[in-house]
């Protein structure tokens, strides 16, 4: 089975896990080598004075009973020195370890975030088997830093344990058997985390559901829906039920493992009592030796407890967490592209899909099936179809979020699968219905659409104008400097439509993308605003270096012409938006030239997904999907003349306006 198989991420095979544990340890060493070395050294030094306390107590007893003042003085000085050094070294060790932990936490979190972000596809964000394991790993990232602390502590406890066993053997070699009595506790301590972790893993989905329901009931985004629907109490009840489904088997596993662990400790307790009887009665040892046994033996119990506890933590968190971290590293490496073709700088002929089929990971249902389609260079292409027809999936494949299950995608004859995802995406721009709300200053909320120009104010203003979002920015008190998001100092909340306009502006940040994807990016805007926006943009996208082409009355490109028609008030899809007057290049979002969003000789393809036919009909080419297949391709007039699926959808929507 592949090392990237998620079902093996939480395995408990210690020998097989050692390489991943070493990789995790090396990650901390690479981040802070000096601090790690000093912290480990101080942890060992702090263990010695504590372990030697039993020696000073023995000498003190022998000195008092033997009336040896020198021995008493030595013992007293040793006790004072041990107590002082234990305190000083413990403080120094704690401070050093805390500093190391703070610094290595950032390194680990950044590493995990970078690994997830570096994977070219989004399968690990959408596949349930991966999500469960990534959810556990995300929780463990915040305690993975503790594995180093546990390593330091384990080293100290083992040193104490070795010194203590040495002291016991100095009384009689048979007392080394007392350490063997601790083996049941070691076994149960090592076994417990695996059992408990298996129960936690089995209920990971229920735990994720409980967290989701809690967030739904307590966060701002769903607050209105929760209150209008009156489902607050239902959410609380369902969250409790989901939590119980996770917790009941976990609690049962914990109680069972605790019972076995208590039984293991009873074996050690019996051995400890037997050792005291053996030394006091069998050996007739001196009071000092008996006191040494009592002190060292009692400490042995504590040292064994601490050692097996730390080993259990290492096995539970380090073994499990490091295995998951190694799995993610291996998964990211396995998904690394074997790209040997450069991304194009222009599109001469177009993008072709050849017999493309696709099913989402973990399912056998084809979302796209045997799709053969050509998107011509320089064209405005609209995707039409009912929900679930595969429109957004096709967009994801073009963005290399997934690779086709079968078939291939060609860009001017070159296989897209052989192009680096990052390089290809740098040639893309787009806006989506399910956009993310970047709660940043407006400048950066828009600017992240083209990171090299993140703080380029003229570029951001141009993108805002392209998206018709100038009215949003102009109403904000600080304009582009306004902090978005009411939870931030001086942050403001804007409406969903305003958020969508800013997301659209973010998609327009790149001046010369080869593929512009607009996947229902104006779903929260009114139909008239959407129509006006796309009519302007489609007109600009058809311009080339040899002269402008304007839209005729039905929204399709015709040679010559003086400008793009403005959207009229009639939004019946049987109307192309014709109305009185013509639009001109203005500061309200009309692109004026190729640099302002028009298609230059790069051969840009604009891909539009929309359910509004008043917008769709202005496209050069309309692609109709139904049941995972492309069923019709053509212009608006051609498809209407066929009286097929497109014409049926068109007439249904047109009837709503009559």
The string of pLDDT tens digits covering residues 33-83 is: 888 888 888 888 888 887 787 888 888 887 887 788 888 898 889 888 888
Residue 54 lies in a domain: yes
How confident is the model over 256-274, as a mean pLDDT?
Answer: 85
Encode pLDDT of 444-460 as tens digits.
Answer: 999 998 889 999 999 99
Domain stops at, among 129, 154, 171: 171
Tokens of 80: 């004072």
Encode pLDDT of 328-353 as tens digits.
Answer: 677 667 666 667 788 898 899 999 99
Q: Is the dihedral of CA 236, 240, 242, 243 positive or negative?
A: positive
130 lies in which domain range? 15-171
pLDDT at 3: 41
pLDDT at 602: 73
Q: Where are the beta strands (DSSP E) in 377-447?
A: 380-384, 406-411, 414-415, 428-432
Encode pLDDT of 540-565 as tens digits.
Answer: 555 543 333 333 333 333 333 333 33
Total H helices, total E strands in the chain: 23, 12
Encode pLDDT of 612-639 as tens digits.
Answer: 787 788 889 999 998 889 999 999 999 9
Average pLDDT, the chain: 76
Res. 327: pLDDT tops 50: yes
On whether the CB atoms of residues 42 and 360 are closer than 8 A, the answer is: no
**In whole angstroms, what is the distance from residue 418 CA to residue 409 CA?**
10
Residue from 269, 294, 282, 270 nearest 168 by CA: 294
DSSP of 117-147, one letter per residue?
Answer: HH-SS-HHHH-HHHHHHHHHHHHHHHHHHHH
What's the DSSP call for residue 582?
Answer: B
How confident is the model over 274-301, as a mean pLDDT?
Answer: 79
Domain stops at, among 156, 171, 186: 171
pLDDT at 50: 77
At a CB cut-off of 8 Å and minimum separation 6, what does 90 contact?
Answer: 46
pLDDT at 525: 63
Angular region, 412: left φ>0, alpha ψ -120 to 50, beta rest: left
**More confident of the two residues 154 and 478:** 478
Residue 114 lies in a domain: yes
Residue 348 lies in a domain: yes
Q: How many domains does the chain have?
A: 2
Tokens of 491: 């942050």
Residue 33 lies in a domain: yes
On whether the CB atoms of residues 25 and 151 are closer than 8 A, the answer is: yes
How confident is the model over 167-192, as a mean pLDDT?
Answer: 81
On whether the CB atoms of residues 368 and 356 are closer than 8 A, the answer is: yes
Residue 230 lies in a domain: no
**In whole angstroms, what is the distance from residue 305 CA to residue 157 CA?**
9
Residue 322 lies in a domain: no
Beta bridge partners of 371: 356
Buried/exposed code over 622-643 (b: 16+ C-beta within 10 A; e: otherwise) = bbbbbebbbebbbebeebbeee
Helix (H, G, I), strand (E, B) or coil at 408: strand
Domain stops at, among 171, 187, 214: 171
Residue 323 lies in a domain: no
On whether the CB atoms of residues 358 and 397 are closer than 8 A, the answer is: yes
DSSP of 189-224, one letter per residue?
Answer: HHHHHHHHHHHHHHTHHHHHHHHHHHHHHHSSTTHH
The CATH number of whichever domain residue 638 belongs to comes to 3.40.50.300
pLDDT at 312: 65
Residue 301 lies in a domain: no
On whether the CB atoms of residues 287 and 61 are closer than 8 A, the answer is: yes
């Amino acid at each position: 089975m592949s090392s990237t198989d998620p079902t093996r991420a939480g395995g408990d095979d210690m020998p097989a896990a050692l390489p991943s544990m070493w990789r995790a340890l090396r990650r901390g060493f690479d981040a802070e080598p000096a601090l790690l070395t000093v912290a480990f050294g101080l942890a060992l030094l702090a263990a010695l004075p504590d372990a030697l306390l039993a020696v000073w107590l023995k000498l003190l007893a022998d000195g008092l009973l033997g009336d040896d003042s020198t021995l008493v003085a030595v013992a007293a000085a040793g006790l004072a020195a041990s107590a002082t050094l234990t305190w000083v070294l413990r403080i120094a060790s704690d401070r050093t370890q805390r500093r190391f932990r703070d610094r290595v936490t950032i390194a680990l979190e950044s590493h995990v975030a970078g690994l997830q972000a570096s994977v070219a596809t989004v399968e690990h964000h959408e596949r349930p088997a991966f999500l469960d394991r990534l959810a556990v790993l995300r929780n463990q990232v915040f305690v993975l830093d503790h594995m180093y602390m546990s390593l330091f502590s384990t080293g100290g406890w083992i040193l104490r344990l070795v010194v203590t066993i040495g002291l016991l053997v100095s009384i009689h070699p048979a007392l080394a058997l007392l350490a063997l009595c601790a083996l049941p506790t070691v076994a149960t301590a090592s076994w417990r985390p695996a059992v408990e972790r298996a129960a936690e893993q089995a209920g990971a989905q229920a735990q994720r559901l409980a967290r989701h329901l809690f967030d739904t009931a307590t966060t701002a985004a769903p607050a209105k829906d929760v209150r209008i629907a009156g489902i607050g109490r239902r959410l609380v009840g369902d969250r409790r039920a989901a939590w119980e489904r996770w917790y009941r088997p976990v609690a049962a596993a914990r109680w069972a493992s605790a019972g076995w662990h208590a039984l293991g400790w009873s074996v050690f307790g019996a051995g400890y009592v037997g050792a005291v009887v053996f030394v006091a009665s069998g050996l007739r040892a001196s009071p000092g030796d008996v006191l040494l046994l009592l002190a060292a033996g009692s400490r042995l119990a504590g040292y064994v407890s601490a050692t097996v506890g730390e080993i259990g933590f290492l096995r539970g968190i380090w073994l499990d967490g490091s295995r998951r971290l190694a799995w993610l590293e291996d998964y990211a490496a396995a998904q690394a592209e074997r790209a040997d073709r450069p991304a194009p700088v222009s599109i001469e002929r177009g993008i072709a899909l050849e017999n493309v089929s696709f099913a989402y990971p973990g399912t056998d249902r084809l979302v796209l099936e045997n799709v053969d389609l050509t998107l011509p260079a320089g064209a405005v292409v609209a995707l039409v179809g009912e929900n679930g027809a595969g429109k957004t999936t096709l967009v994801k494949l073009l963005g290399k979020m997934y690779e086709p299950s079968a078939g291939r995608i060609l860009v001017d004859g070159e296989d897209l699968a052989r192009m680096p995802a990052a390089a290809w995406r740098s040639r893309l721009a787009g806006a989506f219905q399910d956009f993310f709300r970047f709660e940043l200053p407006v400048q950066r909320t828009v600017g992240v659409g083209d990171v090299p120009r993140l703080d380029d104010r003229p570029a951001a203003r141009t993108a805002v104008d392209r998206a018709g979002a100038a009215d949003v920015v102009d109403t904000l008190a600080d304009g582009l400097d306004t902090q978005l998001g009411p939870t931030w100092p001086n942050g403001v909340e804007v409406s969903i439509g305003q958020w969508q306009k800013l997301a659209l502006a973010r998609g327009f940040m790149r001046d010369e993308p080869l593929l512009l994807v607009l996947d229902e990016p104006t779903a929260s805007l009114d139909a008239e605003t959407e129509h006006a926006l796309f009519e302007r943009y489609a007109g600009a996208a058809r311009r080339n270096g040899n002269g402008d082409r304007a839209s005729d009355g039905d929204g399709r490109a015709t040679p010559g012409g003086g400008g793009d028609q403005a959207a009229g008030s009639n939004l019946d899809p049987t109307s192309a938006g014709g109305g009185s007057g013509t639009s001109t290049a203005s500061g309200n979002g009309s692109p004026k030239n190729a640099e302002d969003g028009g298609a230059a000789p790069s051969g840009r393809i604009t891909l539009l997904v929309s359910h509004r036919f008043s917008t769709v009909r202005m496209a050069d080419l309309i692609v109709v999907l139904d049941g995972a297949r492309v069923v019709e391709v053509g212009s608006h007039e051609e498809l209407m003349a066929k009286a097929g699926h497109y014409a049926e959808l068109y007439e249904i929507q047109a009837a709503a306006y009559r």
